[in-house]
């Protein structure tokens, strides 16, 4: 399992925030690894921090594939019950940019839909 923590330069306030982000990424990653292991598969967590998801993924994936040649990479794509201009603008391009980069590197990549239901306020 791998997870990439995104450093937002607009809200970055110092070393403590990087440490907090690393802790959060590790906690999330550990939950995925635990899930995989509970289902009888080998799981290992590898994480990195980057200011750009696409570049960070393109740098991390080849290193993982070198160690695990049969690795297949997955990423979730948010699917809203009711799409708006803003949901399409903010949530639809990153996964496809990562897909293109990894495909150009010859790395298998699968997009998984993640359904999002908006609560009535």
Q: Is the pLDDT of residue 95 over 70?
A: yes
Same domain, 79 and 41: no
Same domain, 76 and 46: no
Q: What count of Cα atoms within 13 Å lies in the side-chain half-sphere of residue 57? A: 25
Provide the domain count of the chain.
2
Q: Is the pLDDT of residue 22 over 80?
A: yes
pLDDT digits (tens, 9 = 90+) for 37-86: 999 998 888 888 888 888 999 999 999 999 999 988 988 888 877 777 77
pLDDT value for 91: 64
Same domain, 77 and 118: yes
Q: Token pair 């990653």 is at which residue?
A: 29
44, 88 contact by CB (below 8 A): no
Same domain, 77 and 120: yes
Residues 21, 33: Cα–Cα separation, whole Å? 18
**What range defines the domain where residue 22 resides?**
1-51
Residue 61 falls within a domain, yes or no? Answer: no
**Burial bucket for residue 98 (CB in 10 Å: 0-12, 13-18, 19+):** buried
Other residues' Cβ atoms within 10 Å of the Cβ of residue 99: 19
Residue 64 falls within a domain, yes or no? Answer: no
The answer to whether the predicted template modeling score (pTM) of the entire model surpasses 0.95 is no
């Amino acid at each position: 399992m791998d997870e990439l923590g995104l450093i937002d330069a607009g809200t970055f306030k110092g070393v403590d925030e990087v440490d907090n982000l690393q802790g959060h990424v590790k906690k999330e990653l550990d939950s995925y690894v635990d899930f995989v292991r509970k289902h009888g598969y080998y799981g290992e967590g590898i994480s990195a921090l980057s200011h750009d998801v696409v570049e960070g993924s393109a740098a991390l994936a080849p290193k993982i594939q070198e160690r695990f040649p049969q690795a297949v990479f997955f990423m979730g794509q948010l699917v809203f019950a009711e799409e708006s201009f803003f949901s399409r603008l903010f949530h639809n391009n990153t996964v496809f940019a990562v897909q293109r980069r990894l495909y150009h590197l010859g790395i298998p990549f699968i997009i998984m839909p993640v359904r999002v239901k908006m609560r009535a306020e």
